[in-house]
Amino acid sequence: MSRRAGQGAASAAARVARLRSLIEAHDRRYYQLDDPTVSDAEYDALMRELRELESAHPELLVPDSPTQRVSGEAARQFQPVVHRVPMLSLDNAFSAEEFLAFEKRARERLARSEPLEFSAEPKLDGLAVSLTYQRGALLSAATRGDGTTGEDVTANIRTLRCVPLRLEGAAPAELEVRGEVFMPVAGFAAMNARAAQQGEKQFANPRNAAAGSLRQLDPRVTASRPLSAYFYGTGAWSADFPEPPTHSALLKQLAAWGLPVSGENRTLRGAEACVAYHAALGARRAQLPFQIDGVVYKVNDRREQQQLGFLARSPRWAIAWKFPADEAQTTVRAVEFQVGRTGVLTPVARLEPVSVAGVVVSNATLHNMDEVHRKDVRVGDTVIVRRAGDVIPEVVRVLPELRVKHARAVKMPANCPVCGSPVIQGDDESAARCSGGFNCAAQRKEALRHFAGRRALDIDGLGEKLVDQLVDRGWVHTPADLYVLTRQQWADLDRMADKSAANLQQALLDSRHTSLPRLLFGLGIRDVGEATAAALAAHFGSLQALQDATLEQILEVPDVGPVIAGRVQQWFAQPANRDQLQRLRAAGFEWPETAGTKGAAAQAGGPLDGVTIVLTGTLASMSRDEASDRLRALGAKVQGSVSARTRYLVAGAEAGSKLRKAEQLGVPVLDEKGLGKLLAGELP
């Protein structure tokens, strides 16, 4: 037993109270505010000390202790719970006209001509729950059920660290709070990835995952799932504590008690503001860290809510304006194979056109043949397709109960559908590839688009349609061919005029003055991304040195393993690629070259040597490309994705998923002022 566990009862009680207060505060900062102030190790030490004290002093153990979130045996079944105040449904609106009709009815019933004030909040796609607190302590929790009777899920709700076991500050002696349990998108993806690795069943979507996780008979299973919750209302409320006058004030009170509420909640005046909020939130829907399927509007004044009253199953003072569905059911007409830049064949389902999230979808990716086999997709199948924001639609699952007799299995073609070259598959990978290389028009097109891309040579104006024409006419086979085309040839292309041709030729001339990392990335060497291209350039200093390097020398580059080293060495060994480099030089290409760090492993690279940085969002003072180049010049490793090894995330305006992941991992986030310090060679 530790010294602390053996201390006197009085001092132990004081220490236990302090530890519980600290742990609850840390839980709130981590799970609700995304702003942890202690490391995992420090948090674990506090929890371990509390368990030891409670073990040594059993009289101090109480049900709302943080150590009791997962306790007891698995239940044999869920017990029914009758809600003291029914959990009613909401009426739905599916268009602006239907919402405006609801708003007009509310004003007419209240005999008001002036605009109404509404509280607006995201309609979470999860599982509705009701929690009862007695004298501030969590007493019970139940699912919505049929609105009158739900299921007792108290043990499972207690495992959610975002849910306080005791409310902060004064509260009604008896209080029911209503909310939604959901699974964040990132947690859902990570959980399904683990399940796939272990050969286990995967969930279809976050809502099903949340519902299934909360309805586990063993609370230890629930505790292992990445669940969260937001609260948005109340049921029973004892008369010893005054109720807030508005719904927005109620939400603030819930937050003050330590209950998580959505940061997307808004107070709006008038129908026009409500319509604008619906459009704005809908546009950001795919970037939110949780799934929503609409916006809930509630008349804000709670006295006016009472005046408006209720229908049999729903209140007259609230409505859910739904978004267009982001999943839909359709039929697979055919499966075709697209050829990518490196020759990888990707199966694509050609669908019976269907509206998904307001957009007509007729194609959906199947990712690869492993996914086709795992989902057992066949031509003729009825499937569920999903679209989120600008992401390419995907086939989520097959509905085998609707499978027709003539459904055909999908097979990888033996020959490339574009050039007819044999399709090959290496022993060390699942992807199948066209062996045609640049003889394949599809690979040529993708390689040229990559070369002209913003992160590579940044040839402004050379878009997809122009590249298609250049390859289809047989004018361009390699990037070097772009630089010998005449202005007349450019002007002869569809949708090109003399001025457009002149602008494009100027962009080509400008692109010749580049950096070695950009050139290496633009060449499209397989598996050589921006970070690897920068590492190769920094190590060898010149293109000639890299071109002449042996496999062993390339392996000396930090973070370059045998597979990538082999591909780099093989690329430069091919006569056609060497000829392309000579032609680029002849076209006037130039880039700064240095002595590099080859053979000088002990030499420091700069003030940011070895510091891993990720940039996201829009920077006001410079482009992200410029910031990346300047950071690399100081020795930093600039990468495209956030991981536990990331030292800093620089976040500009409209930062999205990378910012959320950095917050989840505890990676320090810097604004442009912090970026300025990095560019000055200082660590914030």
Residue 237 CA to residue 167 CA, distance in Å, equals 14
Specify whether the CB–CB gap between 170 and 208 falls below 8 A.
no
CA distance 636 to 647: 10
The catalytically annotated residue of 123, 298, 445, 637 is 123
Check if the beta carbon of residue 636 is closer than 8 Å to that of residue 663. no
Buried b (16+ CB within 10 A) or exposed e, 285-312: bbebbbbbbbbbbbbbbbebbeebeeee
Alpha-carbon distance of 160 to 70, in angstroms, equals 9
β-pairing, 648-651 vs 669-670, is: parallel
- The count of other CB atoms within 10 Å of the CB of residue 138 is 20
Taking Cα atoms as reference points, which of 235, 76, 75, 81 lies closest to residue 151?
81
* Residue of 336, 376, 332, 377 lying closest to 351 (CA atoms): 332
Q: Please choose, from the candidates 240, 111, 93, the residue with its C-alpha nearest in 3D space to the C-alpha of residue 171.
A: 240
Tally helices (H) and strands (E) across the chain: 24, 24
Q: How far is CA 33 from the centre of its chain?
A: 18
Q: Is 341 left (phi over 0), alpha (psi -120 to 50) or beta?
A: alpha
User: To which H or E segment does residue 321 belong?
Assistant: strand 318-322
List the end-to-end C-alpha distance of the chain, in Å, as a whole number.
42
Q: Retrieve residue 628's tokens.
A: 């990346």
Beta partners for 415? 422
β pairing state of 637-639 and 612-616: parallel
Tell me 65's DSSP state: S
Q: What is the DSSP string of 548-574?
A: T--HHHHTTSTT--HHHHHHHHHHHHS
Q: Which residues pair with 175 in a beta bridge?
A: 133, 237
C-alpha–C-alpha distance, residues 294 and 534, integer Å:
44
Ranges assigned E (strand) in 221-308: 228-237, 266-269, 292-299
Q: Facing residues of 663 across strands? A: none
* 138, amino acid identity: L
E-assigned strand segments in 41-126: 80-82, 91-93, 117-124
Structure tokens that stand for 337 in this block: 């194979």
> How many Cβ atoms are within 10 Å of 514's Cβ, its own excluded?
17
Kindly tell me the sign of the dihedral angle through the C-alpha atoms of 115, 118, 123, 128: negative
Amino acid letter, 535: A
Which helix (H) or strand (E) segment holds residue 386: the answer is strand 382-386
* 123 has catalytic annotation: yes
Residue in 545, 470, 483 with CA at minimum distance from that of residue 513: 483
CA distance 1 to 18: 20
Length of the chain: 684
Catalytic residue numbers, as ranges: 123
